[in-house]
Amino acid sequence: MNNKTIAMSVAACCMVVSSLSLAQQRVTGPIVIQGAMPVEAERFAQRLDNPQELDIGGWRFWRGTVDGYPVVVSETLKGMSNASAATAIAATQFHPVAIINQGTAGGHDPALKVYDIVLGKYSVNLGAFKSPHKQPGEGSDSLQWKPMDLLASKGSAGEDKTPHTIRKFPADAQLLSVAESVKESYKKGNVVEGVIGSADMWNSELDRIHAFHSNYQTSVEEMETASAAQISAAFNIPFVGIRILSNNITNQGAYDPQTGLACQDYVYQVVKAYIAKTKTR
């Protein structure tokens, strides 16, 4: 074998190793499961095999496996900024193949009851609005506020004269399909596709909630999903939000803290189904 043949063989081997390495990275990158509070994250973390708890900048992560597949549980802490930061940390530190943001939410849709689960076909930011100009003494009316799409332009969103529609962050189709595939196993309520609204607000004005539901088709509201979806999209990581109703003031559905545990149990089945699907590819 001459030197040229040897060089070609070495190059071919390197290409094969490189291809295997890339394929291995795609297969073995972890699934990240997010929950804002201990009651929304610790139950799932306790179900990991060989868990290792990590603290990164004040955010807790647990790294382990489910059915032999790597999974990372992230306690994002409450709010849009915390969820964004935790998602960026997860993206850069763990290089996940998918992110599932899950936990509790308050109902916007009167047809939904406590313990029903909403699979977010998309999520929206309910905190990005512009109010109309009003003189002193004219009061404030949030029902007149117009949505701002903060990603639409590089200039001032508030000074942009172009009418904006609310920004929608769609779920990954495959993750949504897998989440749908296990809904028959859930016995504590209904599982439906819907819209998850997120903001650093707790809305208790029924007219405002009705406006969100009517204008933007929101099913529930909480404080993390849309921001996690936005950062996941920036990193090109498949994402889905899954939220359980912990209360619904539109139909007198009383708050139940145990719903956070039920949501984690459902998402655990979603993860197992996703892993099984991955292993058959």
Distances (CA, A) of 253 to 106, 114, 119, 240, 260: 9, 6, 19, 25, 15
Three-class secondary structure of residue 222 per DSSP? strand
Phi, psi of 30 (to 5 degrees): -75, 160
Q: pLDDT tens digits, residue range 73-126?
A: 999 999 999 999 999 999 999 999 999 999 999 999 999 999 999 999 999 999
Does residue 21 register a pLDDT over 70? no
Q: HSE (CB half, 13 Å, CA atoms) of 42?
A: 5
Q: What is the mean pLDDT of residues 22-40?
A: 79
Specify the pLDDT at position 2. Answer: 53
| Eight-class DSSP state of 171 | P
Question: pLDDT band at 165, cuts 50/70/90?
Answer: confident
Does residue 162 register a pLDDT over 80? no
Distance CA 33, CA 264 (A): 9
Q: pLDDT tens digits, residue range 229-257?
A: 999 999 999 999 999 999 999 999 999 99
Specify the pLDDT at position 281. Answer: 67
Specify the pLDDT at position 139. Answer: 96
DSSP-assigned beta bridge partners for residue 198: 125, 222
Does residue 16 register a pLDDT over 50? no
Specify the pLDDT at position 26. Answer: 46
State if pTM tops 0.85.
yes
Closest CA to 199 of 104, 126, 248, 122: 126
Q: What is the mean pLDDT of residues 39-57?
A: 97
Q: What is the mean pLDDT of residues 179-184?
A: 97
Question: pLDDT band at 128, cuts 50/70/90?
Answer: very high
Question: pLDDT band at 153, cuts 50/70/90?
Answer: confident
Q: Which residues contact 254 (CB under 8 A, 6 or more apart)?
A: 114, 247
Closest CA to 45 of 88, 102, 2, 96: 102
Does residue 193 register a pLDDT over 60? yes
Distance CA 145, CA 16 (A): 57
How much of the chain exceeds pLDDT 70, in percent? 89
Over the chain, what is the mean pLDDT? 90
Specify the pLDDT at position 125. Answer: 97
Distance CA 259, CA 98 (A): 24
Q: Which amino acid is at 88?
A: A
Q: Which amino acid is at 147?
A: P
Q: Confirm if 147 and 274 have CB atoms less than 8 A apart.
A: no
Does residue 15 register a pLDDT over 70? no
Does residue 5 register a pLDDT over 80? no
Question: pLDDT band at 212, cuts 50/70/90?
Answer: very high
Closest CA to 104 of 237, 279, 260, 270: 260
User: Pairing between strand 168-170 and 69-75?
Assistant: unpaired
Tokens for 9? 């063989």
Among the residues of the chain, which ranges form H helices? 3-28, 38-46, 80-94, 173-181, 206-216, 225-234, 259-279
Closest CA to 104 of 114, 94, 112, 96: 114
Specify the pLDDT at position 56. Answer: 97
Q: Confirm if 125 and 227 have CB atoms less than 8 A apart.
A: yes
Q: Which amino acid is at 230?
A: Q
Specify the pLDDT at position 154. Answer: 79
Does residue 279 register a pLDDT over 90? no
